[in-house]
């Protein structure tokens, strides 16, 4: 069972992906993905080999992803906007044999093949001339999928001559490595199997009409993030629904696309819904209406109740929330299908997903009490890449995932996420672990101590704050700290607020108390 087989189910002429002003069909996507799989096999890439995909949200990303899976290899989506240092650290961890990138990725040590749009750089080449990405992913029937309407009239089923035919894999076989800050510790690669990802798709599709084959979804989410990868893209692959891909989110442009392309489903993070809710009026009147939208789904971070209210008042559409995490592939619960949409509620567990709340002794809490959220199901990840210690700290012997999130179950059975037991900061749905940011800030000359915390933010959910103690006699400026962070961290991890203090609050054993810093005014 290979996740990539999902793409073989859809009629060749049906619309699949929209990007850069063009609809691409399922037939075209299949043919290009098959070309990628064949090219990888020529490079002797096989099962269990890792292939990094460093690409923004685009048709090329989807083609690369499906091609890697079809070859039986393990896809490792990475942030194309990461600074070279951070990208290099991640590549060193997963040791890919091939890197597929949309642009230069800097020095990539010990990787035999780096495939770029303009060229292939290979330390160990197979016989034959090196190829460009365009050749690497060439459509074997060029032009056949460009006009979806023309093809749809003549092709009512999957094109037997151009099926992807992926390499057979077991449910337990590794499909994807996704970097996450985890439920504890510094960023690490979460291992998601073909079974994990397909199980979560089945669980989500257990919610009536979450996505239909005749839907058109809009996603401006990065596909290297699990919400974009296995909720937005995954559900489209599973149902055959068309998907509009926005490489870079622009509120006005995306709303115009909703109207022009007949979008019926919005999949976004709270920052997107806040931007849509706050769209300014123009000379032509209010922002475009969303009359064709039947579902608006927010995930990856907590949705501020005021944002949801402003959006609904402006467009007449409710935003339904969900809860999940990378280690759960990712969806755990949703308010969709419950018949109620209460502020702060993330609904009920998906079919096939178990949730329990436990106390500090790992015992179930009493009804109405708060506790750590534990999750169990076929969607729960295999573990962290080459890190048995970290894996055992979050997975119990009987399959429960310790999320590190604190929740409470209301009288009606709905789940509310109220806090986190760990220091994880979530910015627009992206995990930021303070220790990683602290390590970079501590390398700034003149910084004696630093503690990083999250601050509530109505737009991004949280923002990163660095609290710094300067060494005696040293001079440290905000500009210097920001420059160091920009050079070594992805933008969402960089502190938006920098605060200088004479000393950090500490506990009895001398550890800096982040909770005490959070209680101080910003």
pLDDT in tens, 488-504: 888 999 999 999 999 88
Residue 394: predicted pLDDT:
93
pLDDT in tens, 297-318: 998 777 878 888 889 988 999 9
Q: What integer is the mean pLDDT of 146-175? A: 67
> Which position has the higher pLDDT, 239 or 138?
239
Mean pLDDT of the chain: 85
Under the banding of pLDDT at 50, 70 and 90, the label for residue 475 is: very high
- pLDDT tier for residue 159 given thresholds of 50, 70 and 90: low
Per-residue pLDDT at 160 exceeds 60: no
Round to whole Å and give the CA distance between 190 and 176: 8
- State the Cα angle at 58 between 226 and 492, rounded to 5°: 50
Domain ranges of the chain: 3-169, 207-318, 425-519
Q: Which fold has domain 207-318?
A: Rossmann fold (3.40.50)
pLDDT digits (tens, 9 = 90+) for 73-108: 999 999 988 888 888 888 889 999 988 988 777 666
Terminal-to-terminal C-alpha distance of the chain: 51
Tens digits of per-residue pLDDT, 259-279?
Answer: 999 999 999 888 889 889 888
SS3 label, residue 263: coil
120-122 and 113-115 strand pairing: antiparallel
Q: What is the pLDDT of residues 203-233, one digit of tens each?
A: 999 998 799 999 999 998 889 999 999 999 9
- Which string of DSSP letters, residue by residue, matches 274-323? HHHHTPPPBTTBSSPP-TT--EEEE-SSPPPHHHHHHHHHHHS---EEEE
Residue 127 scores a pLDDT above 50: no
pTM over 0.85: no
- CATH homologous superfamily of 425-519: ANL, C-terminal domain (3.30.300.30)
- Bridge partners for 470 per DSSP: 447
pLDDT beyond 50 at 425: yes
Options 3.30.470.10, 3.40.50.12780, 3.30.390.30, 1.10.1200.10; which CATH number does 3-169 get?
3.40.50.12780
Question: What is the reported pLDDT for 8?
Answer: 95
- Fill in the DSSP letter of residue 269: -
List phi, psi (to 5°) of 50. -95, 140
What pLDDT, on the 0 to 100 scale, is given for residue 278? 85
Q: What are phi and psi of 225, to 5 degrees?
A: -100, 140
Q: Which residues pair with 333 in a beta bridge?
A: 323, 349
**Quick check: 462 and 422 in contact, CB under 8 A?**
no
Rounded distance between C-alpha atoms, residue 437 and residue 453, angstroms: 10
CATH topology identical between 3-169 and 425-519: no
| CA separation for the pair 372, 401 (Å, rounded) | 10
Q: Which of 127-131, 157-161, 286-290, 373-377 has the lowest mean pLDDT?
A: 127-131
Q: What is the model's pLDDT at position 158?
A: 54
Q: CA of 403: how far to CAs of 182, 195, 397, in Å?
A: 9, 20, 15
Q: Among 228-237, 253-262, 455-464, name the one with the lowest average pLDDT.
A: 455-464
| Interatomic CA distance for residues 4 and 372, integer angstroms | 35
Q: Residue 145's pLDDT is what?
A: 39
Instruction: Give the sheet arrangement for strand 447-457, strand by strand.
Output: 447-457, 461-470, 497-500
Distance CA 437, CA 450 (A): 9
Q: Per mean pLDDT, which range of 173-177, 247-251, 293-297, 516-520 is the poorest?
A: 516-520
Q: What is the pLDDT of residue 300?
A: 79
pLDDT > 50? residue 155: no
């Amino acid at each position: 069972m290979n996740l990539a087989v999902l793409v073989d189910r859809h009629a060749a002429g049906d619309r699949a992906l929209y990007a850069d002003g063009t609809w691409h069909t399922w037939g075209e996507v299949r043919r290009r993905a098959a070309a990628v799989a064949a090219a990888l096999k020529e490079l002797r890439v096989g099962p269990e080999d890792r292939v990094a995909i460093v690409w923004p949200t685009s048709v090329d990303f989807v083609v690369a992803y499906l091609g890697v899976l079809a070859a039986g290899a393990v896809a490792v989506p990475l942030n194309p906007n990461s600074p070279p240092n951070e990208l290099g650290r991640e590549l060193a961890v997963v040791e890919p044999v091939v890197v597929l990138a949309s642009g230069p990725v800097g020095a990539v040590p010990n990787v035999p093949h780096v495939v770029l749009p303009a060229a292939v750089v290979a330390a160990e080449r197979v016989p034959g001339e090196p190829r460009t990405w365009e050749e690497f992913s060439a459509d074997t029937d060029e032009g056949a999928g460009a006009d979806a309407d023309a093809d749809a009239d003549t092709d009512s089923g999957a094109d037997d001559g151009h099926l992807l035919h992926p390499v057979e894999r077991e449910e337990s076989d590794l499909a994807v490595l996704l970097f996450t800050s985890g439920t504890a510790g510094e960023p690490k690669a979460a291992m998601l199997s073909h079974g994990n990802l397909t199980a979560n798709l089945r669980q989500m599709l257990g919610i009536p009409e979450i996505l239909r084959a005749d839907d058109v979804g809009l996603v401006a989410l990065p596909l290297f993030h699990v919400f974009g990868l296995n909720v937005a893209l995954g559900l489209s692959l599973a149902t055959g629904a068309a998907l509009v891909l926005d490489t870079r989110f622009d509120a006005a442009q995306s709303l115009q696309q909703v109207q022009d392309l007949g979008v019926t489903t919005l999949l976004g993070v709270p920052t997107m819904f806040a931007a849509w809710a706050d769209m300014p009026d123009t000379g032509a009147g209010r922002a475009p209406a969303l009359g064709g939208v039947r579902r608006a789904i927010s995930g990856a971070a907590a949705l501020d109740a005021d944002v949801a209210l402003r959006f609904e008042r402006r467009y007449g559409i409710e935003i339904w929330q969900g809860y999940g995490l990378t280690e759960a592939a990712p969806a755990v619960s949703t308010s969709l299908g419950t018949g109620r949409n209460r502020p702060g509620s993330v609904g009920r567990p998906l079919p096939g997903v178990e949730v329990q709340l436990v106390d500090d002794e790992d015992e179930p809490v009493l009804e109405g009490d708060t506790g750590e959220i534990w999750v169990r199901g076929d969607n729960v990840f295999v573990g962290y890449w080459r890190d048995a210690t970290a894996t055992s700290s979050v997975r119990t012997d009987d399959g429960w995932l310790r999320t590190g999130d604190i929740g409470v179950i209301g009288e009606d059975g709905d789940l509310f996420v109220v806090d986190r037991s760990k220091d994880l900061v979530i910015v627009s749905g992206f995990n930021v672990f303070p220790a990683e940011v602290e390590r970079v800030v501590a390398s700034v000359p003149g910084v004696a101590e630093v503690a990083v915390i999250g601050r509530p933010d109505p737009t991004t959910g949280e923002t990163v704050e660095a609290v710094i103690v300067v060494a005696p006699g040293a001079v440290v400026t905000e500009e210097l700290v920001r420059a160091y962070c920009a050079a070594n961290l992805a933008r969402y991890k960089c502190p938006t607020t920098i605060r200088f203090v004479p000393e950090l609050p500490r506990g009895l054993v001398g550890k800096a108390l982040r909770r005490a810093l959070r209680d101080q005014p910003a």
